[in-house]
Amino acid sequence: MTLTNNYYYKGPALPGDTVAPAEYNVFKDIRRINATADVASLLTAGTLCYLTGTTQASDMTPTVTEMGDVDAQYGLICVVEIEKHNPQYATTTDLAVWPNKMPNTSVTRANYSPAAETKIIVIPLEEGMNIWILGSQDGSFDTTFGTCYIAAANGYIKATGAPTGATPVANAQHFMSLATTVNQNWAFCRYLGVRAYDPS
């Protein structure tokens, strides 16, 4: 588990008490909105999600692979915020103070996630916002400084692979890594919005 500090980011390898640190979002309006989890065991802090309003009007669902490639996915995308102690989380959670913040090691994600139809806090993303996002739950996700990643299944981000030079044929929600990481769950990224990319 390592994060390489650089000119843009000098700090720890995972977030503190928020996924959107104020010092890295000076000109951004960090809005924390009460919402509910549409599904169980997935909406932990750092999970990318969007409004589905399935059972409750505020139900949030984790992003899908390559989210942003259809019109309905161009809109609002959020990230789940870190919460201080909350009794709705599993008693097996290791981090009792921040019960929904996974460490950078292999863990059971469900231990850090609320049950369906229970409260979460989300932050709507604006282009240029710098946030912590999850890439895995087994401490195996790598990022490279300056490289773009896209929204993946279960609210994670993933690499797109090397482009072939063909004309971009797909769109997705994009996030640029602000620090190189090796064998982590967390990645510090800048949200770039929906962009075209070469999926090959």
> H or E stretch including 48?
strand 48-51
Q: In a 3-state reduction of DSSP, which class is residue 195?
A: strand
- Spatial CA neighbour of 196 closest among 173, 176, 174, 171: 171
Strand 59-62 versus strand 33-37 pairing type: parallel
pLDDT in tens, 113-151: 999 999 999 999 999 999 999 999 999 999 999 999 999
156-194 per-position pLDDT tens digit: 999 986 666 666 667 788 999 999 999 999 999 999 988
Q: How far apart are CA 97 and CA 186, in angstroms?
A: 18
When mean pLDDT is compared across 57-66, 76-85, 119-128, the lowest value belongs to 57-66
Side by side, the strands of the sheet bearing 141-143 are 2-4, 180-184, 141-143
Rounded average pLDDT over 71-80: 74
